[in-house]
Chain A
Amino acid sequence: MQNAKDSFYMALRTRLATINPERTVLLRGAVRPGILVEEAEAPFSQLPNDVFILRWQGLGVDMDLCATMAAEECEIVYQTCGTQSFGGLDRGRALSEMDEELIAMLSPFYTPKLNYADTPPAAMLTQVFWDEPALTPIAVQRDLLSRSAKMMVYSYQEQGE
């Protein structure tokens, strides 16, 4: 299942770099596309703004099939205060921009599964796929606007996994 999680994250990261190359984050001394996996970073005392944060939550499996199917629930959280140059008055626009980037990142709704434990990553045999996101209403905390989207990410277990 880790391969599916890695493949999903890397697909979104690659797509985001194309959709909006300017959305980046400085993490551990490296500038990367502005999307990260919460469980793969040091714990945050406060979530970073203007970055997509992936959280893995629920897990279900269907073992009655000829290949076990795993369904992993992913929540993508993002928040913004807008930009300093506009005094934060553009925070609604900034959140809309992230909404659009998220929708664009998720399409198409599949990606090849790769094993990122190998270097270079090894192509596996199946594809990871997911459904449409369920987006929450905007949460307002003073000048901070945030939203999250949840989706199920599906994959088939391959031999050796």
Chain B
Amino acid sequence: MAANWFSAPAPVTRRVRGYFAPVNRAAQTPMLFDPSQQGRFPLDAPPAPWISLGWTQAFTRKSASKMSPVLTGIPAAALEQVRETLEAQVNVQFLSWTKLTMALATGSQHMNVLAPASGAIAAAMGAQATSAVTLQSGSTASSILLATADAAKFTAGSIVALDVDYTGQTGFVGSPVSGAYVRQALTDVDYIRRVTFNVGLVSAVTSTGLTLAEPLIGGVPAAGAKLQAVIGFVDREGGCFCQEWSALFLMEGSQGERIFYFYPRLQSMAGAEEKIAPLDGKNQNGQSRVQLMGQFTALPVTDPLDGERVVCYRSFLPAANALV
């Protein structure tokens, strides 16, 4: 009788996939990843609200936790060990420049450059913006309903930002993804739309509104949300806001086995930095790819299972029929 199992060598993988999900900053609630229910998702269709950032490069993780011995006796010898510090770091290079990868690869707020109003005074983060237009009720994450006159202001290929007006509040702003922390009241009514992650590319315009190429990260626009055109993105070296996201890295082995690294809370730990990578061996001094570098420190959560404080979960789903 033929064996119906095999002894699997160490996994062979090609690349690492990256997925991120927003942390509720106000409630300090990270996003969960459950390997028992979500571990076999198609690579291009992660479970909501995880967002695929595609393949990544140079993924490295390092435990910076320190163990110390408890010494007793003469001469002193280790009786046991205690965990003195709990810390881990993750480095990864992103292979695309998007709103999210740029934000992850900066140590501060990441801003949308709103289309400027005519004659506005120049500003490093973008001049005073054109007036926002109001959404009609019934909008969804990928279909934005507008008055006919407002829809006519946009064309396919436009980038738009959707969120509520800033009305003087302090604390985390941006819904449901916090884009910034406001320490003192500001005067810019468009501030939340400058930091919001609800940004999308318009794929079609009709008399009733806009169709987006991809659904908004934040899902259905909040009540009272308004829309403005975006022409690009900007971030700064400096500031006191740290991006914080839940992260999931996946290595899929050649036999279908999967290794997950789930970091419930990852915070940017360095300012914006890029790696200039030659396209190939012939282009050492010519054409180069500019890759965003993400550098993160993992923050702890308390596992409700046993009350332990942890920073990362590593899950392994073996290949079918592999000995374990």
Q: A residues within 8 Å of B by Cβ?
A: 65-67, 69, 109-110, 125-127, 129, 131, 154, 156, 158-160
Verify if B183 is at the interface (C-beta below 8 Å from A).
Answer: no
Residue of B nearest to A115 (CB): B2
Interface residues of B (CB under 8 A from A): 2-10, 12, 14, 254-256, 319-321
Is there contact, CB below 8 Å, between A65 and B9?
A: yes
Q: Are A126 and B9 in contact, CB atoms less than 8 angstroms apart?
A: no
Closest to A160 in B: B2
Cα(A148)–Cα(B254), bound, Å: 25
Nearest first, the 3 closest Cβ-Cβ pairs linking A and B are: A129-B254, A65-B9, A66-B7
Instruction: For residue A155, give the distance in angstroms from its CB to the closest CB of chain B.
Output: 9
Contact of A127 among B2, B3, B254 (CB under 8 A): B254
> Contact: A66 with B9, CB < 8 Å?
yes
Q: In the complex the two chains form, what is the Cα distance from A125 to B5 in whole Å?
A: 7
With known contacts A109-B14, A154-B12, A159–B254 Cβ distance under 8 A: no
Are B6 and A127 neighbours in the complex by a CB distance under 8 Å?
A: no
Q: Are A67 and B2 in contact (CB under 8 A)?
A: no
Q: Is the CB of B9 within 8 A of A125?
A: no
- Docked complex Cα distance between A65 and B12 (Å): 12
Cα(A159)–Cα(B319), bound, Å: 17
A66 vs B324: C-alpha distance in the bound complex, in angstroms?
A: 12
Q: Is the CB of B9 within 8 A of A156?
A: yes
Give the Cβ gap from A24 to chain B, nearest Cβ, in Å.
31
CB distance from A67 to the nearest CB of B (A): 5
Tell me, in angstroms, the Cα distance from A69 to B253 when the chains sit together: 14
CB distance from B19 to the nearest CB of A (A): 19
Task: Give 13 A-B contacts (CB < 8 Å), ordered by A residue.
Answer: A65-B9, A66-B8, A66-B9, A67-B8, A110-B254, A125-B5, A125-B321, A126-B321, A127-B255, A129-B12, A156-B6, A158-B3, A160-B2
Determine the chain B residues whose CB is within 8 A of the CB of A154 once the complex forms.
12, 254
Contact between B9 and A159, CB atoms less than 8 A apart: no
Q: Are B8 and A159 in contact (CB under 8 A)?
A: no
**What is the chain A residue whose CB lies nearest that of B10?**
A65
Tell me which residues across on chain A come within 8 A of B10, comparing CB atoms.
65
In the complex, chain B residues whose CB is within 8 Å of the CB of A158: 3, 6
Residues of A within 8 A of B5 (CB): 125
Q: Hey, which chain A residues are within 8 Å of B254, CB to CB?
A: 110, 127, 129, 154
B43 nearest CB neighbor, chain A only: A108
Inter-chain CA distance A9–B12, complex, in Å, is 21
* Nearest neighbor of A122 in chain B, beta-carbon distance: B2
Q: Considering residues B5, B6, B321, which has the most beta carbons from chain A within 10 angstroms of its beta carbon? A: B6
Q: Kindly list 13 other residue pairs between chains A and B, CB separation below 8 angstroms, not including A110-B254, A156-B9.
A: A65-B10, A66-B7, A66-B9, A67-B9, A125-B3, A125-B320, A126-B319, A129-B12, A129-B254, A154-B12, A156-B6, A158-B6, A159-B2
Would A125 and B14 be within 8 Å (CB), given that A110-B254, A154-B254 are in contact? no
Q: How far is the CB of B229 from chain A (nearest CB, A)?
A: 36
Distance of A11 from chain B, by nearest CB (Å): 14
| Identity of the chain A residue whose Cβ is nearest the Cβ of B3 in the assembled complex | A159
How far does the alpha carbon of A127 sit from the alpha carbon of B10 in the complex, in Å? 14
Across the interface, do B14 and A67 meet the contact criterion of CB distance under 8 Å? no
Q: Which residue of A lies closest to B320 (CB)?
A: A125
CA distance A63 to B269 in the complex (A): 43
Q: How far is the CA of A126 from the CA of B14 in the complex (A)?
A: 17
B9's contact among A69, A127, A129, A131, by CB below 8 Å, is which? A69
Most chain B Cβ neighbours within 10 Å, of A66, A69, A125, A154: A125
Q: Which residues of A contact B2 (CB under 8 A)?
A: 159-160
- CB atoms of B7 and A67 under 8 A apart: yes
CB distance from A65 to the nearest CB of B (A): 4
Expressed in whole angstroms, the Cα–Cα distance for A131 and B12 within the complex equals 11
Residues of B within 8 A of A65 (CB): 9-10
- The answer to whether residues A126 and B3 also contact, given A66-B8, A109-B14, A156-B9 and a CB cut-off of 8 A, is no
